[in-house]
Amino acid sequence: MSDALPFVVAGWGVILGGLALYAVTLLRRLAAARRAAGDEPAPHEDRG
């Protein structure tokens, strides 16, 4: 079996990195949309 280490790193790295990237982008988009919408959350949402 060829040296698996680079693949383990690539596998985990891309996945954890991708998750982090998506999360950060999501938070940014959410902040921007809320600002644009005048920051009035609907009653059922929590602002946390």
Partner 1 sequence: MKTRILGAVALLAVAAASVNALFIVPADLNQGEAQRIMYVHVPSAWLAYLSFGVTALAGIGYLWKRDLRLDHVALSAAEIGVMFTAFAIWGGMMWGQPVWGVFWQWEDPRLTTTALLLALYVGYLLFRRLTDDPHRRAARAAVVGLVAAVDIPIVHFSVEWWRGLHQGPTIGSPDRILNPAAPMQFVTALLAVLGAFTVAWAWLMIRRYQLAAAEARLEDAARRTRVAAARRATVAAARAEEATR
DSSP 1-48: ----HHHHHHHHHHHHHHHHHHHHHHHHHHHHHHHHTTS---TT----
Q: How many residues bind partner 1 (CB under 8 A)?
A: 32
Residues 11-40, mask of contacts with partner 1 (x by CB under 8 A):
xx-xxx-xx--xx--xx-xx--xx-xx--x
Residues that bind partner 1 (CB under 8 A): 1-5, 7-8, 10-12, 14-16, 18-19, 22-23, 26-27, 29-30, 33-34, 36-37, 40-42, 45-48
